[in-house]
């Protein structure tokens, strides 16, 4: 197997390696504007009956940790894909609903439709990388990420959205944002050394992924963010089919696809369900399929990251998947992340 990595050294790789700077810039610029604090106060006084979390693609998957945070704090929160929200669940557009809408561009087709359908009935908190976008300008409050320009596949915009959403969870739950700022500061020192070894990671992964036809990414809790986004970016970056789902869902049918041509990445997750995920890994390996554990106890350096707070886990979990996209591209001897059919911003429903 060729170790030539020149095929993958393009703009997508540049964006991956620039993630630490994007995270640092976003954290430095996070603040709680008056509009956001006002909405948080209304939420905690009972003015809102529900919180609807919405987006498309990786922006949607990034909402998993926030949803769990809000539910854990006692709020009624739900995730609804933006297209489904505007066409089939428009009853949620009312004054008793608080919407958190995530979109890196802020002017995708679904976000434009959301603004049109809402007509200022529900309060909207926007999380976006584009301050002059319709979503940012038409929202009641906005949190801005500082990812800068991005070539194609979401990497910088995804991880900066995660850090902004963790900040938002503290604001909405009226927590101490000074505490979460200190907690989030450790993410960059954790990401930098991992990405510095990208060549070693890719070369480690290439034989593990050799001749696979089916790729699954599975986890529980906050790891569903990486499972969903990971499968999406593999398809976008490599034109290779992948599926992301819960570890429990994998046992309900997809388990039948196990074999030598199937690779399953299992996110170990937090202590509540880690034993269940490790048991799934063992059962997969027993069937002769290929699988690896991703987490603090990862089965190789490419799938291992430091044992840090739960708030940082979703950011760290996506890094090994990014390495998978590079390894698959290196095997295929093609540049990853160069779109042939899609566009960076989806403007057609």
Partner residues linked to 294 by β-bridges: 267
Res 229 pLDDT > 90: yes
pLDDT in tens, 311-320: 899 999 999 9
- Name the token pair of 87: 């066409």
Break the chain into its structural domains and give their ranges. Answer: 6-15+188-332, 31-185
pLDDT in tens, 184-228: 999 999 999 999 999 999 999 999 999 999 999 999 999 999 999
Length in residues, the chain:
349
Rounded Cα–Cα distance for residues 132 and 255 (Å): 46
pTM above 0.95, yes or no: yes
The average pLDDT across 144-171 equals 97
Rounded Cα–Cα distance for residues 208 and 120 (Å): 51
pLDDT in tens, 94-107: 999 999 999 999 99
Whether 31-185 and 6-15+188-332 are alike in CATH topology: the answer is yes
Percent of residues, the chain, with pLDDT higher than 90:
95
Rounded Cα–Cα distance for residues 16 and 237 (Å): 12
Instruction: Name the DSSP class of 268.
Output: -
pLDDT in tens, 50-73: 999 999 999 999 999 999 999 999
Q: Tell me what pLDDT residue 258 has.
A: 98
Give residues with Cβ within 8 angstroms of 147, minimum separation 6.
22, 26, 104, 129, 156, 157, 160
Topology, domain 31-185 = Rossmann fold (3.40.50)
Assign 263 to helix, strand or coil: strand
Q: Tell me what pLDDT residue 344 has.
A: 84
The average pLDDT across 165-181 equals 95
What's the burial of 67, exposed, middle or buried (CB within 10 Å: 0-12/13-18/19+)?
buried
pLDDT in tens, 305-341: 998 888 899 999 999 999 999 999 999 999 999 998 8
The end-to-end CA distance of the chain, in Å, is 42
44: Cα within 13 Å, side-chain hemisphere: 14
Topology, domain 6-15+188-332 = Rossmann fold (3.40.50)
Angle made by CA atoms 258, 239, 263, in degrees to the nearest 5: 20
- In 3D space, the residue among 327, 349, 339 whose CA is nearest the CA of residue 110 turns out to be 349
Q: Tell me what pLDDT residue 168 has.
A: 98
Alpha carbon separation from 175 to 70, 160, 282 (Å, rounded): 12, 20, 39
Q: Mean pLDDT score of the chain, rounded to an integer?
A: 96
Partner residues linked to 102 by β-bridges: 55, 127
Q: Cβ(338)–Cβ(325) under 8 Å?
A: no
Q: Tell me what pLDDT residue 1 has.
A: 52
pLDDT in tens, 280-304: 999 999 999 999 999 999 989 999 9
Q: Tell me what pLDDT residue 2 has.
A: 58
- Name the token pair of 159: 């991880």
Rounded Cα–Cα distance for residues 227 and 264 (Å): 11
Percent of residues, the chain, with pLDDT higher than 70:
99
Angle made by CA atoms 185, 186, 188, in degrees to the nearest 5: 85
pLDDT in tens, 20-49: 999 999 999 999 999 999 999 999 999 999
Rounded Cα–Cα distance for residues 238 and 256 (Å): 25
- In 3D space, the residue among 320, 310, 307 whose CA is nearest the CA of residue 155 turns out to be 320
Exposure class string for 279-304: b at 16+ Cβ within 10 A, else e: ebbeebeeeebbbbbbbeebbeebbb
Q: Tell me what pLDDT residue 340 has.
A: 87
């Amino acid at each position: 197997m060729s170790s030539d990595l020149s095929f993958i050294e393009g703009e997508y790789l540049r964006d991956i390696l620039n993630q630490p700077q994007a995270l640092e810039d976003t954290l430095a610029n996070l603040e709680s504007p008056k509009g956001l604090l006002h909405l948080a106060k209304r939420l905690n006084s009972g003015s809102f009956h529900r919180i609807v979390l919405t987006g498309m693609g990786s922006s949607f998957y990034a909402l998993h940790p926030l949803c769990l945070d809000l539910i854990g704090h006692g709020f009624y929160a739900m995730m609804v894909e933006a297209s489904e929200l505007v066409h089939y669940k428009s009853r949620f557009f009312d004054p008793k609903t608080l919407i958190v809408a995530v979109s890196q561009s802020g002017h995708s087709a679904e976000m434009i439709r959301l603004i049109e359908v809402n007509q200022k009935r529900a309060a909207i908190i926007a999380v976006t990388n584009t301050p002059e976008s319709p979503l940012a300008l038409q929202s009641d409050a906005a949190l801005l990420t500082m990812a800068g320009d991005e070539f194609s596949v979401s990497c910088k915009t995804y991880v900066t959205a995660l850090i902004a959403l963790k900040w938002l969870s503290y604001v909405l739950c009226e927590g101490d944002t000074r505490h979460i700022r200190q907690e989030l500061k450790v993410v960059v020192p954790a990401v930098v050394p991992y990405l510095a070894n990208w060549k070693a990671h890719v070369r480690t992964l290439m034989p593990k992924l050799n001749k696979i036809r089916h790729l699954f990414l599975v986890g529980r809790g906050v790891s569903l963010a990486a499972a969903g986004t990971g499968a999406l970016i593999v398809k976008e970056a490599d034109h290779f089919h992948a599926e992301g789902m819960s570890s429990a869902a994998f046992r309900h049918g997809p388990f039948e696809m196990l074999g030598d041509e199937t690779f399953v990445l299992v996110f170990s997750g937090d202590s509540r369900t880690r034993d269940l995920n490790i048991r799934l890994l063992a059962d997969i390996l027993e069937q002769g399929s290929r699988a690896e554990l991703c987490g603090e106890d990862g089965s190789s350096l490419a799938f291992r990251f430091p044992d840090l707070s739960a708030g940082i886990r979703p950011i760290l979990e996506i890094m090994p998947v990014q390495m998978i996209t590079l390894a698959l591209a290196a095997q295929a001897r093609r540049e990853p992340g160069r779109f042939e059919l899609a566009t960076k911003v989806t403007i057609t429903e």
